[in-house]
Structure 1
Amino acid sequence: MPREAADARYDAALTLLVSRFLPGNSEKQAFISAIAESLAPNAPLLIADPFRSEHSQETAPVLRDAWARQSSASAEVIAQMSTRMARDFHPVDESTLARMAGEAGLTAPARLFQALDFKAFVLRKADACPQAASRA
């Protein structure tokens, strides 16, 4: 990566439907921290993804069934989708996101939007990112 790109500070960042594919919390933490390091002070980070909630077990079958009715998918396709989602989707809950944000030098998440378990949050870069201060 060119030095200029590594030193760049951005005025905002957006992640849309990304973090659910990162398998572990350490991968998610590294992802959020890397974004935080590239943000200018007080710059927003918008994260929109499915998040685990106390109702996730109830909403997942409802969403799957609604999708199946809308798409006219076969029982085999629905079963394959359910298996892939169980294997490949790794949502976190809001408290885990808040902890990760703090560790990355970001403010606590403020919810912008929610539809069932799909949520969007804005977090802001603090004046000094903890990782940058520890390397100095």
Structure 2
Amino acid sequence: MKFSPTWCAVPSALPRDRGGITAEWALVLPAVILVFAAVLSAVGVMVQQSRLDAVAADAARLASIGYSSPSITEHVVDQLGEAAAVSLQSRASGVSVCAVVSSAPSGLATLVEGLRAQGMACALRESEPLEDPVVSGDSP
């Protein structure tokens, strides 16, 4: 076998092989995009769940120090928007109060009809409910 400066060990692509990589990418790219969208959606759901848990903890804390249900509901709606709902439940013979906050999902999870995200937190009751508490900003 004779070697020359233009000789190559890898044969050149035949005309019938041209475009093979393009066809492979055309098959693989939709799957890659679908996986990427699923990962982003999962991260969005986790962030929303964390936010719901934090707002539920705020609501339980406000209920434990005596704020009324309407002012707690107003605080939750301020934090999460009009689609949010809060439910307060007294536990252990009135010793503790729990707040359940729910909201419609965001991101790609909105494609699932009827799905609602929910967060729950409890706190020990520190006082009896106040008649008309003053709520200003994020803190009581």
TM-score norm. by structure 1 comes to: 0.29
Structure having the higher Rg: 2
Structure number with higher relative contact order (C-alpha < 8 Å, ≥ 6 residues apart): 1
